[in-house]
Amino acid sequence: MRVRALLVAVLALGLAGMPATGAPIVSLQDDNLVNVRGAELEARLDALAATGIRVTRVDVLWREVAPTRPADARDPADPAYDWSRYDQIVRGLAARGITTILDFYVTPVWASRSGERTAAPRPADGGRFAGAIARRYSGAFPDPLGGVLPEVRRIEVWNEPNLPGFWRPQCRQRGGRSVPASPRVYAALLTAAYREIRAANPDAQVIGGVTGPAGRSPARCPADGAAATGSLDFTRLVADEGPPIDAWSLHLYPLGSPLQAFFTPSWNTVAQAIRQVDRLAPGAPIHVTETGYHTSYNRFHRYFVSEAQQAAWVDETVVAAGRIPRVQVVTWFNFQDNPRWTGGLLRGDGSRKPSYDRFAAQAAANPPPPGWAP
């Protein structure tokens, strides 16, 4: 064990600041983009671009875009929709040479039985909204400011649908045991979204899964169904349903170094997920659209590392991803600390952590190939 640990340490030190062989695109998400507008949003876009990234991920909050039911949900011009914030984001990212991956979640009141923001949406409603996103950002839709809006070709269907903070119910109790409920409904949403997205833009890539970092499914299901479904269980059960996909995504927050952590899910267990993904689409690309390490304790995330350790593990993350040829993109989450999340490259006051420069070097060394250009 000592010899193995020494080899891992030597590997990490030897590759610090350098790309791993076959390393994927290095991406970054600023989750605060969707909370600001106007000049403040432009300033955040400038700061994001200054890191040197060429790919980012943006959350589309469905509940805010469509607070009331559209008369024609497939039509992005329906008056029930308010795309103004996202038009500015997509337009601004394209102008800065940054390719966008869009995901969508947060269920509107009208799109589920309970009306809760975390409720599983009716698949048909979610599918039509996905189609509206793809149509608006197809590269052919009129821009309210003139010309056409930029094209976004990569759309993730939901965010962490195996976690109760984003999707309920997760399970139900049957015969004294817990039975996962979320995979089947999510698979139906993924099927509907795929159909609608491809109808709106045949060149779009539909990314399924987006699984959150849960290791195990519950033995007993709470009355409200709010218990996480293990990421591998979720992937396997979605694969049983057979929805179409172009790529699969997952989120990794290892407890320990990227190269040494072996619990599920971690970089060393991605191969187990790939075996299930291949049942849906053999050889489909894998996108890790969230990963990172916190640098202080908070009540939402108890595991944390020092700022120096976070910086070192930026490099190790790229090394770990480079060991898996199927991984096309790795997105660090997120750009700046906030009270709920301290995994940023910037502290809450905007000052840079040591990880900022390490990340910028990796982003420069691992840009997207020509097919990913905005």
Span 182-200, mean pLDDT?
A: 98
Q: Which residue has the higher pLDDT, 1 or 229?
A: 229
Instruction: Assign 20 a pLDDT band (cuts: 50, 70, 90).
Output: very low
The pLDDT of residue 85 is 97
The pLDDT of residue 316 is 97
Please state, in angstroms and rounded to a whole number, the distance separating the CA atoms of residues 143 and 203: 20
Query: Is the per-residue pLDDT at 5 higher than 90?
Result: no
Nearest Cα to 312, choosing from 258, 247, 255? 258
Rank 67-71, 297-301, 368-372 by mean pLDDT and report only the highest.
67-71
Distances from the Cα of 16 to the Cαs of 51, 318, 345, in angstroms? 18, 10, 17
Which pair of structure tokens corresponds to residue 116?
């809760």
The pLDDT of residue 28 is 98
Span 15-40, mean pLDDT?
A: 79
Instruction: Assign 176 a pLDDT band (cuts: 50, 70, 90).
Output: confident
For the chain, domains (ranges, CATH) are: 26-367 (3.20.20.80)
The pLDDT of residue 373 is 77
Residues 87, 101, 46, 374, CA torsion sign: negative
Which pair of structure tokens corresponds to residue 286?
């894998």
Query: Is the per-residue pLDDT at 13 higher than 90?
Result: no
Instruction: Assign 344 a pLDDT band (cuts: 50, 70, 90).
Output: very high
Q: What percent of the chain has pLDDT over 90?
A: 90
How large is the angle between the packed helices 307-322 and 354-365, nearest 10 degrees?
A: 20
Instruction: Assign 3 a pLDDT band (cuts: 50, 70, 90).
Output: very low
Query: Is the per-residue pLDDT at 39 higher than 90?
Result: yes
**Whether pTM exceeds 0.75:** yes
Q: Is the peptide bond before 121 cis (omega within 30 degrees of 0)?
A: no
The pLDDT of residue 299 is 82
Query: Is the per-residue pLDDT at 91 higher than 50?
Result: yes
Span 189-203, mean pLDDT?
A: 98
Instruction: Assign 12 a pLDDT band (cuts: 50, 70, 90).
Output: very low
The pLDDT of residue 7 is 36
Span 211-229, mean pLDDT?
A: 94
Span 155-162, mean pLDDT?
A: 98
Give per-residue pLDDT as tens, 118-130. 999 999 999 999 9
Mean pLDDT of the chain: 93
Please state, in angstroms and rounded to a whole number, the distance separating the CA atoms of residues 371 and 350: 33
Give per-residue pLDDT as tens, 226-280. 999 999 999 999 999 999 999 999 999 999 999 999 999 999 999 999 999 999 9
Instruction: Assign 9 a pLDDT band (cuts: 50, 70, 90).
Output: very low
90-120 in b/e burial notation, b at 16+ Cβ within 10 A? bbbbbebebbbbbbbbbbbebbbeeeebbbb
